[in-house]
Amino acid sequence: GGPNVSTALSVREQHGHDESMHDCAPPDAVVWPQAVGQVQELAALCHRCRVPMVPFGTGTGLEGGVNAVQGGVCFDLSRMDTITELSLEDFSVAVEPGVTRKALNSYLRDTGLWFPVGTVG
């Protein structure tokens, strides 16, 4: 509730489009979960109620993937932004879905490593 849920039109419109050519299709509500357990509870509730779930990162996609063409609930994962594990030995890092490439590279700055654009995996 409260600051973690919005049905305001301006917020829904912000979350109803990306950088693609597709028209805005806002969700019915936007939620900002802050932990895996909250995502699980929200997903279970949406599933039980047969409400579409739309994940939202930063809105920079080019395919219209955030457009809620059937309404539903947008899961804005930007507040889940913790880097949870770094292994310099095998060059692996575990992050929550809200971690941006810029934030990751800032975190890695003193290690001599970086995460370039276009990296998959």
Determine the Cα–Cα distance for residues 62 and 70; give it in Å rounded to an integer.
Answer: 19
Position 24 pLDDT exceeds 60? yes
Domain contains 14? yes
| Stated pTM of the model | 0.82
Range(s) of the domain holding residue 89: 81-113
Q: How far is CA 37 from CA 1, 5, 45, 76, in A?
A: 15, 16, 12, 15
- For residue 21, being part of any structural domain is answered with yes
> Does 66 lie in the same domain as 24?
yes
Task: Please indicate, yes or no, whether residues 12 and 64 belong to a single structural domain of this protein.
Answer: yes
Residue 120 has pLDDT above 80, yes or no: no
Residue 121 has pLDDT above 70, yes or no: no
Neighbouring CB atoms inside 10 A of 19's CB total: 13
Residues 13 and 36 reside in one and the same domain: yes
Domain at 32, CATH number: 3.30.43.10
Residues 85 and 98 in one domain: yes
Number of domains in the chain: 2
Shared-domain flag, residues 22 and 57: yes
Please tell me the predicted confidence (pLDDT) of residue 42: 95
Q: What is the pLDDT of residues 47-105, one digit of tens each?
A: 999 999 999 987 788 888 889 999 999 999 999 999 999 999 999 999 999 998 899 99
Residue 36 lies in a domain: yes
Are residue 66 and residue 9 in the same domain, yes or no?
yes
